[in-house]
């Protein structure tokens, strides 16, 4: 797992939250940051500290230890507040959806660890969509003396865009003590209209107390790291580790008032013993355009907190089960880390609406298009694997959005699920319909849901005929007319290895679908198009030892002819990293070879030599025969995580195990070790220095799961692990 220390400049933390519920991130410095649960997924609430300190003001944990009459108190972060010190350092292990923090401070007589997580349970969408983050603190007394310890949890009321109207309310019940944050004066259109709660789960080992409210803002008109004060609360806590159990519920009526509240839990630690104290931060923010799915079974934040408190032991063990099963596989440790930590977009990028519509945003901040199909082609594999009901739902939504002439839209909408767009650049993309057909077939073979496939068949058939109509030159391949595919800054003309290869794979899938639904005419048509399209693909695109990026002439090209056509922009000599994406998906779905096996093997060898060899950080998207990177556009000259991972998977399918794993590791190491930003990855990054270029929380990168599918071909344990489990099974 990625292991960091608090003095490293790690730019993201493990996201804690639920599918479609928003999240927060727990950072290696012990602070909470990057909140999106206030219906602000496209504009996260984050630290504004000009010095670069990470963490939202007003959210803290702290400890007080009493040993032989001596008291030691620390904030459980490396950042202090005013004259209250933090710990010396933190060791941080991230293993989504878990983060483990080991606090290190020579002054503390006890050992303190935190295991923070949110429920993520395979095939259990409901419990994986809970709007909560759980913090399990374990305090151990290594001495031969009894030590009294108290843990403090502090929260700030951030409900509504303005502080006026905010108030806190304590709710005490048998299993849980909660401090709830409300606002009486929120405008109806304010997306941060909602409720939040900080809770302690009660048990016989701890004594829980509360302090309902105080003003955390120490200076008028200014609230930053220099003016945040915990003094009013700290004065109570430092006395004996308990709070005064006072809650006036007073409503804020002026500015310069940041209302905060706190909970504390005290326990006696006998020699060589430990205690676990569990906090939870829960939320309920219904004022979202299409609502949240969690609203259908949880009416308010108290419902959330109580639900989690009653089930937290089972939620914890069920969430642990997935990691345990993955860790049992006999694969490299780095790959286990990369697989599990690349699942974070399930929380960071997802929308799951009250009407039960689902999707992941391509990049929730810089490209907030929902479910982008060309990217889903790579990134939705773990959705289908772990939450098949959601994946099938998403594909039905795309079918329902199909244009009258048969074109499948690029996405489901900008920041919404009900207003699909054709593309990002006004063109009708030639890769989308093929990808739609292939994803329908993939989801069927993973789930075995024949009813789903039959429901989708009319849309599949219509999608094929739209593609067939784009073949202007009658070579039985779609004709590209510019940047009309996933590389939307990179113009292709005529037949392209990328678009045409995926089309050939879709024909193989279409043939199988036609057999299943007993459509003999469609079966024959798919066979005809594949036979003739494959011949055209090899004739027009094969060049010495790889397939050309594109060729808009009638025939194959000699070296001299290619140079001439490149000048006319009717062909490209570039060796694309993604030229065999059609073969990658064909192997993934067991469809066989889309072109000559010999040519696939030769082209792959060339790609590994030219594209993978051109950068220490991944596969460069396009390299010229000379070895120079194709610098005609930003997409061609740089690396994409998703393309690198799918290429690594293809290499494994083709028997290049060492090369495939090394390539995938290069990309993962760049994110986790080089850039120090594994939980907020882009799509595109620099081939020259590995720096991030475009995208945030990008969903294409979950394509790394295809690496495990490739390894499963020769490993029965992995194959069993990858078997889809429907909910309730």
Sorting pLDDT into bands at 50, 70 and 90, what band is 64? very high
- Residues 116-139 have a mean pLDDT of 98
Using DSSP, state whether 477 is helix, strand or coil.
coil
Residue 590: exposure state from Cβ atoms within 10 A (0-12, 13-18, ≥19): exposed
Euclidean distance between CA atoms 37 and 22, whole angstroms: 4
What phi, psi does 113 have (nearest 5°)?
-130, 150
Euclidean distance between CA atoms 304 and 297, whole angstroms: 9
| Res 726: pLDDT | 64
H or E, element range at 122: none
Print burial letters for 33-61: b (CB count within 10 Å at least 16), e (below 16). Answer: bbbbbbbbbeebbebeeeeebbbbbbbbb
| Res 727: pLDDT | 59
| Res 105: pLDDT | 97
Euclidean distance between CA atoms 110 and 63, whole angstroms: 10
pTM of the full structure: 0.96
Q: Is a pLDDT exceeding 60 seen at residue 722?
A: yes
Q: Is a pLDDT exceeding 50 seen at residue 729?
A: no
Helix axes 641-653, 705-712, angle to 10 degrees: 0
Q: CA 49: distance to chain centroid?
A: 26
Q: If you search the block for the tokens 């670069």, which residue do you land on?
A: 52
Euclidean distance between CA atoms 120 and 17, whole angstroms: 9
Name residues whose C-beta falls within 8 Å of residue 536's C-beta, 6 or more positions apart in sequence: 475, 476, 477, 495, 500
The tens digit of pLDDT for each residue in 504-519 reads 999 999 999 999 999 9
Measured over the CA atoms of residue 376, residue 382, residue 384 and residue 387, the dihedral's sign is: negative
The tens digit of pLDDT for each residue in 141-189 reads 999 999 999 999 999 999 999 999 999 999 999 899 999 999 998 888 8
Q: Which domains does the chain have, with CATH numbers?
A: 48-87+109-301 (2.70.98), 342-721 (1.50.10.10)
What phi, psi does 164 have (nearest 5°)?
-65, 130
The tens digit of pLDDT for each residue in 291-348 reads 999 999 999 999 999 999 999 999 999 999 999 999 999 999 999 999 999 999 999 9
The chain-wide mean pLDDT, for the chain, equals 96
Euclidean distance between CA atoms 13 and 6, whole angstroms: 11
H or E, element range at 535: helix 520-541
Name residues whose C-beta falls within 8 Å of residue 642's C-beta, 6 or more positions apart in sequence: 375, 378, 379, 683, 698, 700, 701, 702, 703
The tens digit of pLDDT for each residue in 693-720 reads 999 999 999 999 999 999 999 999 999 9
Q: Is a pLDDT exceeding 50 seen at residue 65?
A: yes
Q: If you search the block for the tokens 């390299």, which residue do you land on?
A: 623
| Res 225: pLDDT | 85
DSSP state of 305: H
H or E, element range at 206: none
- Measured in Å, how far apart are the chain's first and last C-alpha atoms? 30
- Residues 550-571 have a mean pLDDT of 88
Instruction: Name the pairing type of β-strands 546-551 and 622-623.
Output: unpaired
């Amino acid at each position: 797992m990625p292991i960091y220390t608090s003095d490293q400049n790690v730019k993201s933390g493990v996201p804690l939250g639920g599918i479609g519920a928003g999240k927060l991130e727990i950072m290696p410095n012990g602070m909470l940051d990057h909140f999106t649960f206030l219906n602000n997924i496209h504009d996260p609430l984050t630290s504004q500290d000009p010095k670069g300190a990470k963490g939202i003001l007003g959210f803290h944990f702290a400890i007080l230890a009493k040993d032989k009459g001596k008291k030691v108190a620390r904030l459980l972060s490396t950042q202090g507040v005013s004259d209250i010190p933090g710990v010396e350092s933190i060791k941080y292990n991230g293993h989504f959806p878990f983060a483990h923090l080991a606090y290190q401070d020579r002054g503390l007589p006890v050992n303190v660890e935190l295991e923070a997580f949110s429920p993520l349970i395979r095939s259990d969408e409901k419990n994986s969509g809970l709007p909560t983050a759980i913090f399990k603190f374990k305090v151990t007394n290594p001495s031969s003396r009894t030590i009294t310890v108290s843990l403090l949890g502090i929260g700030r009321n951030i409900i509504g865009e303005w502080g006026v109207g905010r108030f806190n309310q304590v709710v005490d019940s048998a299993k849980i003590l909660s401090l709830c944050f409300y606002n009486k004066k929120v405008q109806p259109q304010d997306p941060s209209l909602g409720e939040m709660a900080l809770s302690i789960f009660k048990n016989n080992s701890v004594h829980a107390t509360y302090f309902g409210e105080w003003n955390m803002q120490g200076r008028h008109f200014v609230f930053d790291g220099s003016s945040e004060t915990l003094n009013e609360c700290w004065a109570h806590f430092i006395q004996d580790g308990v709070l005064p159990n006072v809650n006036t519920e007073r409503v804020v009526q002026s500015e310069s008032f940041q209302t905060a509240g706190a909970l504390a839990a005290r326990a006696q630690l006998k020699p060589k013993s430990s205690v676990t104290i569990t906090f939870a931060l829960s939320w309920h923010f219904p004022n979202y355009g299409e609502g949240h799915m969690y609203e259908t079974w949880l009416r308010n934040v108290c419902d959330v907190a109580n639900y989690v408190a009653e089930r937290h032991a089972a939620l914890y063990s069920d969430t642990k089960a997935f990691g345990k099963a993955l860790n049992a596989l006999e694969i490299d440790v780095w790959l286990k880390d990369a697989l599990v930590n690349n699942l974070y977009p399930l929380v960071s990028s997802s929308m799951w609406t009250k009407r039960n519509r689902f999707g992941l945003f391509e990049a929730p901040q810089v490209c907030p298009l929902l479910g982008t199909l060309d990217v889903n082609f790579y990134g939705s594999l773990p959705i289908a694997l772990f939450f098949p009901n959601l994946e099938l739902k998403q594909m039905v939504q795309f079918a329902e959005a199909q244009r009258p002439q048969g074109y499948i839209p690029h996405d489901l909408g900008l920041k919404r699920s009900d207003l699909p767009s054709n593309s990002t650049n006004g063109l009708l993309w030639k890769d989308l319909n093929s990808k739609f057909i292939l994803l329908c077939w993939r989801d069927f073979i993973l789930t075995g849901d024949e009813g789903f496939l039959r429901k989708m068949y009319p849309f599949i058939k219509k999608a094929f005929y739209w593609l067939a109509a784009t073949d202007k030159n009658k070579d039985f391949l779609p004709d590209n007319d510019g940047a009309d595919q996933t590389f939307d800054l990179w113009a292709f003309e005529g037949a392209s290895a990328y678009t045409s290869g995926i089309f050939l794979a879709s024909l193989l899938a279409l043939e199988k679908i036609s057999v299943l639904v007993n459509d003999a005419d469609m079966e024959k048509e798919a066979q005809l198009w594949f036979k003739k399209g494959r011949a055209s693909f090899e004739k027009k695109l094969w060049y010495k030892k790889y397939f050309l990026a594109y060729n808009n002439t009638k025939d194959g090209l000699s070296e001299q002819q290619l140079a001439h056509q490149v000048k006319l922009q009717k062909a490209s000599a570039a060796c694309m990293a993604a030229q065999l994406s059609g073969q990658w998906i064909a192997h993934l779905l067991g469809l066989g070879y889309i072109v000559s096996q010999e040519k696939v093997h030769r082209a792959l060898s060339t790609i590994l030599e030219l594209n993978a060899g051109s950068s220490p950080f991944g596969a460069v998207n396009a390299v010229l025969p000379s070895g120079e990177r194709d610098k005609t556009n930003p997409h061609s000259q740089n690396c994409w995580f998703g393309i690198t991972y799918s290429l690594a998977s293809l290499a494994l399918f083709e028997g290049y195990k060492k090369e495939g794993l090394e390539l995938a590791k290069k990309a993962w190491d760049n994110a986790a070790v080089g850039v120090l930003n594994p939980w907020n990855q882009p799509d595109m990054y620099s081939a020259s220095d590995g720096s991030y270029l475009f995208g945030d929380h990008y969903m294409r990168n979950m394509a790394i799961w295809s690496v495990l599918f490739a390894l499963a071909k020769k490993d029965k344990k992995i194959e069993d692990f990858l078997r889809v489990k429907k909910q309730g099974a």
